[in-house]
Structure 1
Amino acid sequence: MISLENESLKVWVKPKGAELKSLVNKKTGIEHIWDSDPDFWAKSSPVLFPIVGGLKDDTYIFEGKSYTLPRHGFARDNMFELVSRDKEQATFKFESSEATLKVYPFHFDFFITYVLDGASLAVNYKVVNTGDIKMLFSLGAHPAFAVPFDQEEGYNNFSLEFDTQEDLKRWPLSPEGLIEKEPIDLKLEDNKLDLTKELFEEDALVFKNLKSEGITLKSKMSQNYLKFTFSNFPFFGIWAAKNSNFVCLEPWCGIADSVDHNQELTEKEGMNTLAAGQSFERGWAVEVG
């Protein structure tokens, strides 16, 4: 694995999927990334590309041809090349190949860059269309943050505080992981969502068009916190595996198919378009204290 370190943080990134595996606050000794326990969920921070969520019957149609992709696409399961690195920054690259073109007919370069800045880690995604036709894609993050910070605190003592007043509506997922037709109100207390193991019994909480660009994870029992910031992501997911000690904060440029989608890629909600030779960038950051 590739390590990055400064006076405040130590980070480890695995080249497979360019996946963040560890984020340690050196001042407190707290490990903030889920340990990938396979009894619950064997990943820690997979990238979602070139789709977010699931496709109806795992299939989409482009220019009259059907293609099959698994939930969240294929980038997370492929090796990335380390293209640059110093003590506090690293950039990884994954590019289209004969294998990817069989299931996704677009040429691309996909870069993920990790940068340390004091007690913050910034993660940047860059997609480049290296082909000669318009590229259609979705992109999302899926970092899992360990909860509680200290075993004595307990999961139920934690909450997620949104930085802007929200009138939340969550979009339920069908048993097949598709977006249902109507949202459900989700009320907050003092703009906070209290964490409980029961919160995710019906899968992820999926939101559209949050006003907030920051969410703070903190405990009622200590001053330690984790602030997650993001911008220009029209969709957002919050999830944890059943009875697990983590919470995923997931900014998305893309979303699963709706239950009544016709499977045409050009008509899929949340698709981004990129002209030949052009690039697309998004990012998120986490600050710990």
Structure 2
Amino acid sequence: MAAIVVEDLPYKTYLLSDETTQAQVAVVPERGGIITSWQIQGQELFYLDTERFKDPTLSVRGGIPLLFPICGNLQGDTYTLNGQTYKLLQHGFARTLPWEATQQSTTNGASLTITLKSNEATHEGYPFDFELNYIYTLKGNTLELRHRHTNLSQTPMPFSTGLHPYFAVVDKSKLTIDLPSEQYQLKGDATVHAFAGAFDFDSEEIDFSFINLTGQSATVVDAARQLKLTIGFDSSYSVLVFWTVKGKDFYCLEPWTGPRNALNTGEHLLTVAPGETVETVITMTAEVASE
């Protein structure tokens, strides 16, 4: 049975739950539309830096920050469009602006729609009128994130979109990771490296952008927590980023539709025609890991 409850924690928080699987998701629209928590049978799947979360002047590290209209950074934090130069900071503005909860339903899982509309602030770095409607649905042990991007401008609207989920981990050496790629690039380097199939978690930082994807899902088995996570994504997504920092109890596995600097290079950019909507979908399923 699905349910939605609203609480103040300290921001207005929508708690989506599925009682049959003892699953719950927490959504905070005003804090960048972020999902801060996903619990299954009492286990928390996400990492969250609570002190940064409480400070509205700081970006959130944890949960699922939303990436739009770019993923990663632009070269020099700028791009040129129709002869004019614009500035956008890393990952864009969607994760820092307040969203609004606009619709909810419990008829087929617990579902919440959050909305972000263009305004004067977004026009400074992104000269398009748009409406984003992101639909979060919890059904059983699956969390679906359906992202609808509507172009309200008179010209085609280029963009990238993605997620930056922070998954909690107690022992990274107990992770078994299966990715649909054998090639990756490092930040700021176009060189394509062959992936050996395992990460060196003794490194100070791992920041690999996996490209040339051969499938539309990735799995992580956490033997220490007896959890298996499967992330599925539609064919719009062309990059899968794995990021972690030594000594921090998280790893990030991030589906991106386009790579860094895509507004300058045009690589794997999505484009919405005037008056049209482009939809992308990501699913996350958690289960007890098989022995």
TM-score, normalized by length of structure 2? 0.84
Query: Hey, what does 2:8 align to over in structure 1?
Result: none
Q: CA deviation at 1:196?
A: 2.2
Query: Hey, what does 1:287 align to over in structure 2?
Result: 285
Q: CA deviation at 1:34?
A: 0.8
Structure showing greater relative contact order (alpha-carbon pairs closer than 8 Å, 6 or more residues apart): 1
SS in 1 for 2:95: helix
SS in 2 for 1:196: coil
**Equivalent position amino acid for 1:273 in 2:** T
Identical-pair percentage: 28
SS in 1 for 2:66: coil
Kept in 1: contact 2:183–2:212 (CA 8 A): no
Query: Hey, what does 1:79 align to over in structure 2?
Result: 98
Instruction: Find the aligned partners of 1:19 and 1:173 in 2 and give their Cα distance.
Output: 25
> Is 1:156 the counterpart of 2:193 in the alignment?
no
**Equivalent position amino acid for 1:277 in 2:** G
**Equivalent position amino acid for 2:114 in 1:** F
Q: CA deviation at 1:223?
A: 3.9
Kept in 2: contact 1:158–1:194 (CA 8 A): no
Instruction: Find the aligned partners of 1:47 and 1:222 in 2 and give their Cα distance.
Output: 26
Kept in 2: contact 1:236–1:251 (CA 8 A): yes
Query: Hey, what does 2:192 align to over in structure 1?
Result: 183
Counterpart pick for 1:196 among 194, 201, 224: 201
Aligned length: 262
Q: CA deviation at 1:38?
A: 5.6
Structure 2 residues not aligned, in runs of 5+: 1-12, 53-59
Counterpart pick for 2:249 among 245, 252, 256: 245
Rate the CA distance shift 1:185–1:67 in 2: closer, same or farther, 3 A. same
Query: Hey, what does 1:262 align to over in structure 2?
Result: none
Q: CA deviation at 1:93?
A: 0.3
Deviation string, structure 1 residues 12-69 (Cα, Å, up to 9, x no partner)? 011121111000002xx11001122568x72321111011111111111111111111
Rate the CA distance shift 1:194–1:242 in 2: closer, same or farther, 3 A. closer
SS in 1 for 2:48: coil
Query: Hey, what does 1:151 align to over in structure 2?
Result: none
1:24-35 to 2 correspondences below 5 Å: 24-26=39-41, 29-35=42-48
TM-score, normalized by length of structure 1? 0.84
Kept in 2: contact 1:226–1:287 (CA 8 A): yes
Instruction: Find the aligned partners of 2:225 and 2:274 in 1 and give their Cα distance.
Output: 50
Instruction: Find the aligned partners of 2:94 and 2:202 in 1 and give their Cα distance.
Output: 29
> Is 1:145 the counterpart of 2:150 in the alignment?
no
